[in-house]
Amino acid sequence: MRRRSSWFRTPNILNDGRRGRCGAKNWVLKVPYSHMTIPDHGMVDAARSKQDHASNSIHMEHFVRSLVRGFNPRTIGRLALNGTSTFCACALIWEHLITIQLSEGPSMYPTFDVRGDWLLISRVHRNGKGIEVGDVVRYGHPNFQGVHVAKRVVGMPGDFVCQDKPLSTDIGKEGNMIQIPEGHVFLAGDNLPWSRDSRNYGPVPMGLINGKIIARVWPLSKIGWVTNPLQPAQLEAQNI
């Protein structure tokens, strides 16, 4: 059987790489179809994809096996012990050293915003330990269980304070002079017209104090320590 042949005209390129003509004729190459091989690029790409997938599967299998071999009972026990220790340390710090709370309500404005200030609270000052006049404390509301509020200390045990009328801004003009009993403090909000405090429910037991607000940690533009603006009054002795 006679094989079919095809004629392909080659570019006019000489052996030295220069394009040109040889006389008046072009170079012509006669190649039989049976000697031609045309690669199928789609099949090549599919074969490469399968090979890469198989290689990735082998690597993943080796990784999983090595990971499983590493999780022996001793390693699992060590991880469990480390996790438990970390949890206990965080709980200890959160319960006995510091905690964070979001400010809510207008009673301490402008010291704290109505909402949006995150406050750092020292738990070391629980039960009124180390508290002074002018400090801002967090305490459990004496009339509503589970409610925590923040107010400023304006009187310590044994101090005499004027218990003004609730929501009044006339300090010392209307009210009764009282002496704070032992184990109690007199608390008031910085925004007196919008604060319900010891003017409403009297001196607060120090046992209800669960922390002292020492800093504002958010927003970053107002981050800083909470200062004590109150100074003891200097009274001159008068001879009667």
Q: Which two tokens stand for residue 117?
A: 């200030």
Interacting residues of 137 by C-beta distance below 8 A, sequence separation 6+: 125, 128, 131, 150, 151, 152, 153, 185, 187, 209, 211, 212, 213
E strand spans, the chain: 5-9, 28-32, 98-104, 115-122, 136-140, 148-155, 160-164, 175-179, 184-188, 204-205, 209-218, 224-225
Residue tagged active-site, from 122, 151, 195, 198: 151
Contact 11, 28 (CB under 8 A): no
Instruction: Tell me, yes or no, if 151 is annotated catalytic.
Output: yes
Residue 30 bridge partners (DSSP): 7
Q: Which two tokens stand for residue 217?
A: 């940690």
The overall longest dimension of the chain from CA atoms, in Å, is: 145
3 state SS for 149-216: EEEEEEECCCCEEEEECCCCCCCCCCEEEEECCCCEEEEECCCHHHCCCHHHHCCEEHHHEEEEEEEE
Residue tagged active-site, from 103, 107, 122, 195: 107
Enumerate the active-site residues.
107, 151
